[in-house]
Each structure stands twice: as C-alpha cells, then as structure tokens.
Amino acid sequence: MLLLAPRLLPLLLVIGTGAPVPSPHTLPQGCYIAEEAGEQTFRCSRAGLSAVPSGIPNNTRKLYLDANQLASLPAGAFQHLPVLEELDLSHNVLVHLSGAAFQGLEGTLRHLDLSANQLASVPVAAFTGLQIQVNLSANPWRCDCALQEVLRQVRLAPGSGTGIVCGPGARPDLVGQEFLLLTREEELCGTGRGGTRRSTDVALLVTMGGWLTLVAAYLIHYVWQNRDETRRPLKRAPVQRLVRSEDSSTLSTVV
C-alpha cells in the first residue's frame, strides 16, 4: 500500500478538483499531476520526452515540459488544453515551431518560456493573437525580420531581454550582439509594418532634401545675378547744352 501512495496522491488531488481522471498507464514515466497555488498543474520536467505527451488533463492550467528532448512543436500541439495559462518549454532542443503550434490558446495563455533551446528563427504566425509574456533568451537567434516582428507582438519576461543574442547564423557583424540594442539602430524588415514606416521616412527625407536643394540653387542664382547687375557700369545719359545763336534770339539744343 505504501508503494502505491506516490501514484495515488496525484489522482486524489485531481478527483478533489472534479477533473477527469487519466489512467495511470497513460502518464509518461516521470510525469505527475499536482495542484499548485490552487492551479491544476501537470509536470513532466526531466522526463526524457521527445514529443508532447498524451494524457494531459484538459483542465490543466500550468504545464511544465522543461528539460526534455523536444525538438519541434507541431500544429495544434496544445489545442486540447482550453484553459492553459502557463507553458514551460525551456531547456529543450527546439529548433522548429509550427506557425500553428499554439493554436487554441489565444484567449488563455499568459506565460510562455522558450528559453535555452536551439531556436534560430520563429514564425510570426505562431504568436499571432496571443496576449503573452514570453522568455526567448539563450537561443542562437538569426536576428532577422521574423524575430523583430514577434517582439512587436509579445511582452518579454522581466530581465530576459538582454539574453536575446544573435547566434552563429546571424550576419557576421551581428553575432554576439544583443538584439534589443540592435533594433534601436537598425531596421531588419525590408517590408511589413516596420519596413514600410522606415521606407516612408526615407522617401520623405529624400523629397525634402530635393526641395531644399532646388531652393538653395535658386537663391544662389538670384544672389549672383544681382551681384553681376551691381557691378555692371551704368550708361550715362546724353548731356544736353543750350546754345544761343548769334544770329537769332532763339535757343537751340546741342548734343
């Protein structure tokens, strides 16, 4: 009886919350169900998993899959968990996320930990519609437009921003740089919201520069023209003299 106690305790907790009771045989080795701070929790930390396990109760609010061997997340990997609020995928070997990996969690997921994986890039679509706080630190980021767009959609976990560093797959001049500092100086998206705004700003500056050049050229031409006019000698008007004729009392004009 004492040997069964560790397995019975999680099941009793589930029964007490009114949740569906999964069969003990469906739980992967190293996984267990618990209640933490009043929240239904499913823990599979350091369980040697290479895929998202089955048998996770659909009323789970906190899911810990950290420190496993997960390399990818397929579409709809968690869509059967309609009340999931916190998801920890840190310290895996993730290299790929489906654009629909978090489908079905748009209205519930609040905290996502993807730190310490092997992510070089992520699809923007994977985070569309999510209102989450995410940890993306300790990954070999390519530091591309996709990452910049993702950061426009999510909130970073406190203190995690400095850990987003460009990895070996980035441009040689970016490797080792903090991504957040980089984006303050350089726009990485040639198109899209950020790229369009940057292109518009550049076009406006070029247009203004062209108008200023034309105005400056006109002013210079005007100044030089007036300068030439002032230097040009004035033509003297003909001098008229009055001559009295000896034989006549009339006056005649001599030029």
Q: What is residue 193's predicted lDDT score, i.e. its pLDDT? A: 44
Q: What is residue 244's predicted lDDT score, i.e. its pLDDT? A: 53
Q: What is residue 195's predicted lDDT score, i.e. its pLDDT? A: 46
What secondary structure letter does DSSP report for 53?
P
Q: What count of residues does the chain have?
A: 255
Q: What is residue 47's predicted lDDT score, i.e. its pLDDT? A: 96
Q: What is residue 44's predicted lDDT score, i.e. its pLDDT? A: 97
At 113, which helix (H) or strand (E)?
A: strand 111-113
CATH code for the structural domain at 32-185: 3.80.10.10
Six-digit token pair at 105?
Answer: 């969690």
Alpha-carbon distance of 119 to 233, in angstroms, equals 80
Exposure string (b/e) for 5-21, b if CB count within 10 Å is 16 or more? Answer: eeeeebbebbeeeebee
Six-digit token pair at 116?
Answer: 């310490």
* Span between the terminal Cα atoms of the chain, in Å: 143
Alpha-carbon distance of 117 to 83, in angstroms, equals 25
Residue whose token pair is 């520069």: 209
Q: Which residues of the chain have pLDDT under 70?
A: 1-25, 190-206, 228-255
Spatial strand order of the sheet with 111-113 comes to: 32-36, 39-43, 62-64, 86-88, 111-113, 133-135, 155-156
Residue whose token pair is 């369009």: 196
Residue type, 179: F
Residue type, 158: P
CA dihedral angle for residue 52, residue 160, residue 111, residue 91, rounded to 10 degrees: 20
Alpha-carbon distance of 240 to 255, in angstroms, equals 5
Q: What is residue 121's predicted lDDT score, i.e. its pLDDT? A: 95
Q: List, for residues 42-89, the tens digit of each pLDDT value.
A: 999 999 999 999 889 999 999 999 999 999 999 999 999 999 999 999
